[in-house]
Amino acid sequence: MNQPVPAGLPAGLRAAVQDRRSQLEQLSLDLHGTPETRFEEHYAVEQLAGRLATAGFEVNKGVAGLPTAFTATHRGPVDGPTVAVLLEYDALPGIGHACGHNLIAAGGLTAAVAAAAVRPDHPGTLMVIGTPGEEGGGGKILMLDRGVFEGVDAAVMFHPGDRSLRARHALAACHLRLTFHGVAAHAAKMPWGGRSAAAGAQLFLTAVDSLRQFIPPTARVHGIIAHGGTAPNVVPDRTVVDLFVREATSAALDELMPRVLAAADGAALATGTTVETAETAPRYAERDDNLVMGDRIAAYTAGLGLELEPPSLANPAGSSDIGNVSIALPAIHPYVQICPRDTPSHSVRMREAARSPRAHEAATTMATAMAALVLDLLGDPEFLTAVRAEFHASAPGSTAGAGAVCSTAGQEPS
């Protein structure tokens, strides 16, 4: 399925992006300095939607019943495919843009606007989809379930990180909240009259630690005590644990979840408490990057002086709702380096890197390559056919897809 790469960028595209470089940086810094958490990104939406409307896109805010979700469309004069550029713009609680979503938004917007500017007569529809609540809210999943992606032939986005990668596996994830209920009592005068919800939570977390030796190394189970009690001298009657359970695939996650829930039931039984469990977001699926699109964007970035490393299962990411999109339609999610290698994500160091000149240079490069890829998808039917063929070959249950995964993993030692 290897596709020949065009000799160079579409005429005028590099200049179109460079002409917008200062606006990219200004928008990125503006969003970075105004962090908004999941589903509260009202300022970001106003800034993004306003710029897209000015560039001639038809903007529709509040789609899928989500106030901070939007679409923006630029329709060509003739029918053709629909290609979507995905924007993320939510920040992390307490730490701000430590995942660099300000760069995803500014770079993705620049790519879409530049592509429409150099090819206003492109066939089909160039679409920008503003997706809120990636950090634990599953905004893309809600939008997918509610029909926003219906008719979209391919979706593209990028993510900042500590290295530049053509693709990266991400884990399927369940966002779990466990609420232990006990009986309050004075912890000194009559503790035997109480049943400690905190003891139930503590025993559950110990049970999870005991599980670790006996679950696959691909699994991740981690969490916090979100609420432990009210005072040291009161036996807690309510304790809340927020837990993420992750696995390499959705099928593997489905196998692991009953064991985690059984540990919660056992801890409640042992401590005389009860436990309620709830999933606080839709389940995130694993990511299935389209390798044909990945190879094409890597060729474009190489021409711009940025080499994207091949994917490796030895270097997984966390989890993202783009995974659900990638299983429904062809999608890519390459990474671009903005900081020294092994800088931890979701850290103060990553937050500061996301506002640096290096980050804006990287976002400009990726915006240029992504705009070129979008124009190829819109204007080259043979290329889009190859993209669709790879997508169907890698679908769950496909023998060809299993081979493709093995081939990808083999590019680097695991």
Q: Tell me the pLDDT tens digit for each residue of 228-239.
A: 999 999 999 999
pLDDT score for 53: 98
Distance, in Å, from the CA atom of 238 to the CA atom of 195, rounded to the nearest integer, reads 10
The fold for domain 172-279 equals Alpha-Beta Plaits (3.30.70)
pLDDT of residue 2: 66
Q: pLDDT for 243-255, tens place per residue?
A: 999 999 999 999 9
HSE of 200, CA atoms in CB hemisphere, 13 A: 32
Q: What are phi and psi of 118, to 5 degrees?
A: -85, -25
Q: How confident is the model at residue 400 (pLDDT cuts 50, 70, 90)?
A: very low
Are 335 and 164 a contacting pair, CB within 8 Å? yes
What is the mean pLDDT of the segment spanning 191-211? 97
> pLDDT tens-digit profile of 332-344?
999 999 999 999 9
**Across 204-213, 314-323, 348-357, 366-375, least confident range:** 314-323
What are the residue boundaries of the structural domains of the chain, listed by start? Answer: 13-170+284-409, 172-279
- pLDDT at residue 79 tops 90: yes
- The secondary structure of the chain, three-state, reads CCCCCCCCCCCCHHHHHHHCHHHHHHHHHHHHCCCCCCCCCHHHHHHHHHHHHHCCCEEEECHHHCCCCEEEEEECCCCCCEEEEEECCCCECCCECCCCHHHHHHHHHHHHHHHHHHCCCCCCEEEEEECCCCCCCCHHHHHHHCCCCCCCCEEECCEEECCCECCCCCCEEEEEEEEEECECCECCCCHHHCECHHHHHHHHHHHHHHHHHHCCCCCEEEEEEEECCCCCCECCCEEEEEEEEEECCHHHHHHHHHHHHHHHHHHHHHHCCEEEEEECCCCECCCCCCHHHHHHHHHHHHHCCCCCECCCCCCCCCCCCHHHHHHHCCEECCEEECCCCCCCCCCHHHHHHCCCHHHHHHHHHHHHHHHHHHHHHHHCHHHHHHHHHHHHHCCCCCHHHHHHHHHHHCCCCC
**Could you read off the pLDDT of 162-174 as tens digits, one per residue?**
999 999 989 999 9
Q: Which residues pair with 82 in a beta bridge?
A: 125
Assign domain 13-170+284-409 one CATH number from 3.40.630.10, 3.40.50.11540, 3.40.50.970, 1.20.1260.10.
3.40.630.10
pLDDT by residue (tens digit) across 27-38? Answer: 999 999 999 999
> Other C-beta atoms within 10 Å of 410: how many?
12
- The pair of three-digit structure tokens given for residue 124, joined into one six-digit string: 């089909």
Crossing angle for the helix pair 357-379 and 101-118, nearest 10 degrees? 40
Pairing of strands 220-227, 70-75: unpaired
Phi, psi of 273 (to 5 degrees): -110, 180
Pairwise CA distance, residues 99 & 133, whole Å? 13
| Residue % of the chain over a pLDDT of 90 | 91
Residue 290 has, within 13 A of its CA and on its CB side, a CA count of: 33
Burial grade of 75 (CB within 10 A; 0-12, 13-18, 19 or more):
middle
Question: How much is the pLDDT for 317?
Answer: 75
* Residue 13, amino acid: L
